[in-house]
Structure 1
Amino acid sequence: MLTTELDFALAAYTEDGVWTVTPLALRGEPDLSTLVSALRRYPGEAGVIGMVSVDEDFFILIRVIGGRARLLMSDVTAATEWPLAKQVVDELDIPLADDDDDQVPAGDLAIIADLGMSAMDLGALIDDVDLYPEEMLEEIAEALGFGTQFHEAIEAIG
């Protein structure tokens, strides 16, 4: 298993209809419970969305609404290499994929359907093998209406 190298981890949430996107401050090896706990600190009328890109390999969307966390990972096969991805697969209670399996998403494709991106559109985006995780997350941010804030948060990190 590899040490998890995050490209970035962001929190996105709305207050009074205005999106705010902010980098998540994480120390040490990121794990799912730490990410969910970090996201719970933020307000949000429709919950808070965590956008995590790992080593230009895959992304994780986490949506915390009330006490519940919904999860989507762009590539289930990442769980064979990355501890964070394995935690997501374990939390979703799905079998570990084989390395030779196709890259398919795992989790809740309807995670942001009520915010403006249908499960079908999100699935089609994830199926685009030419896009890096950051580019997919950028398209999600644009579709939900916080593309500018997403770009500013990425620039603030890098």
Structure 2
Amino acid sequence: MVEITDAEVQEIDVAVVAYRDEGTWHLAELPDEALGSVESIGQELRRYPDRDGALALISVAEDFSLLVRSRGAGAGVRVLLSDASAATDWHLARSATDHLGLEVEEDDEDEVGPAGDLGIVSDLGVDATEMGELLDDDELFPDEVLSEVADAAGFGPRFDLLAGLED
């Protein structure tokens, strides 16, 4: 298993968990110790009481974003990595491609594209087609893509506040 380094943890721009409890959205920063891998993020998400699945929204070094969703104990973890080629440079991205069973080599670095479940938040207002369009938009930084997802889901302003994106 690939584990993130302390130096890489410092490169994380945003690491937020969003979950609903009794119909109300709650947001919190993910603890650094949960950011070691997709598996540790999934384990952390299982602590939150959302039957539809707590959602981690993570942006690293303005390079890539990562969405991770878990639906409680025993349930699988769904993952969407904005750029699979990030796995050649970042341990956290590598843990996502490993989780997905993808091999990304240095030679694949020019093959930029998302990996995982484009429909990860389709029930929250961003279907797979829209997610693909967001990830293809060269004008948006990874944290701005996450902001768009948060806005569609109904917790945009609170996400922007935690992410430091408010004007």
Query: What's the TM-score, normalizing by structure 2?
Result: 0.85
**1:119 counterpart = 2:97:** no
**Residues 37 and 96 of structure 2 are in contact (CA less than 8 Å); yes or no, is this contact kept in structure 1?**
no
CA shift digits 1:11-54 (9 cap, x unpaired): 00111221111101113973222212221111113110000111
Alpha-carbon displacement from aligned partner over 1:93-139 (angstroms, at most 9, x marks no partner): 122151122x2100000111122110000110000011111100000
> How far apart are the structure 2 equivalents of 1:20 and 1:115?
14
Q: Which residue of 1 aligns with 2:40?
A: 34
- The answer as to 2:103 corresponding to 1:100 is no
Unaligned runs of 5+ in 1: none
Q: Would the aligned equivalents of 1:19 and 1:149 in 2 still touch at CA under 8 Å?
A: no
Residue identity opposite 1:99 in structure 2: E
Q: Give ranges in structure 2 of 5+ residues lacking alignment.
A: none
**Structure 2: how far apart are the matches of 1:129 and 1:51?**
19
Aligned residues between the structures = 154
Out of 57, 60, 80, which is 1:54 matched to? 60
Q: In the alignment, is the contact (CA less than 8 A) between 2:38 and 2:95 conserved in 1?
A: yes
TM-score (norm 1): 0.90
Counterpart amino acid of residue 152 in structure 1: L
Q: Secondary structure at the match of 1:43?
A: coil
Correspondence for 1:132: 141
Identity of aligned residues (%): 40
Q: Given that residues 13 and 45 in structure 1 are in contact (C-alpha distance below 8 angstroms), is that contact kept between their aligned partners in structure 2?
A: no
Q: Secondary structure at the match of 2:33?
A: coil
Distance 1:93 1:23, change over 3 A: same
* SS of corresponding position for 2:163: helix
